[in-house]
Amino acid sequence: MKHPNRKIMLEVLKLAKEKKSVACFVLRGNTVVTRATTTVFDRDGLPTGHAEINAIEKTCRKLKRHDLEGCWLYSSLECCPMCAAACCWAELDGVVYSADGNDRKRGAKFDDWIFVKPEQIFQKRKNAPKLVKHFMRKDGKKALNWD
């Protein structure tokens, strides 16, 4: 499969809109291995329950391996520093995100969460994932409209 993929991102954004959450898929080849959303506020209240972390953990368990070489992560929203670092640790081939952290409504609890951009994390790693920023951003902004 060629990345970025419009059909996959449309599915990610549909899930984000339905769940009123950040959504994330991990693909291996042409197959969606896992789908995940943010669970910080609903399932377990853990601050690490971001969609990207949840998707990486589910994929590692499903594939029974700690590295996700050969996999791509698609997210409805730009990765925070924690998630960007997890993408590096997981050895993903690439990351595609739609909406930018600045596309979120002002006044949200975590307005200032993007104090370090994903590319700043990725550039510190020799074999960092490829990064595709703002893919289908207009659609991604709509998916952030959770009211």
What is the set of active-site residues? 52
Q: Would you state the structure tokens that stand for residue 53, as one six-digit string?
A: 């972390």
CA 126, 65, 74 angle in degrees (round to 5)? Answer: 65
DSSP 100-135: -GGGSPTT-TTTT--SS-HHHHHTTSTTPPEEE-ST
Please check whether residue 23 is in contact with residue 37, taking contact to mean a CB–CB distance below 8 angstroms.
yes
| Residue 48 backbone dihedrals phi, psi, to 5 degrees | -90, 5
Secondary element (H or E) of residue 19: helix 6-19
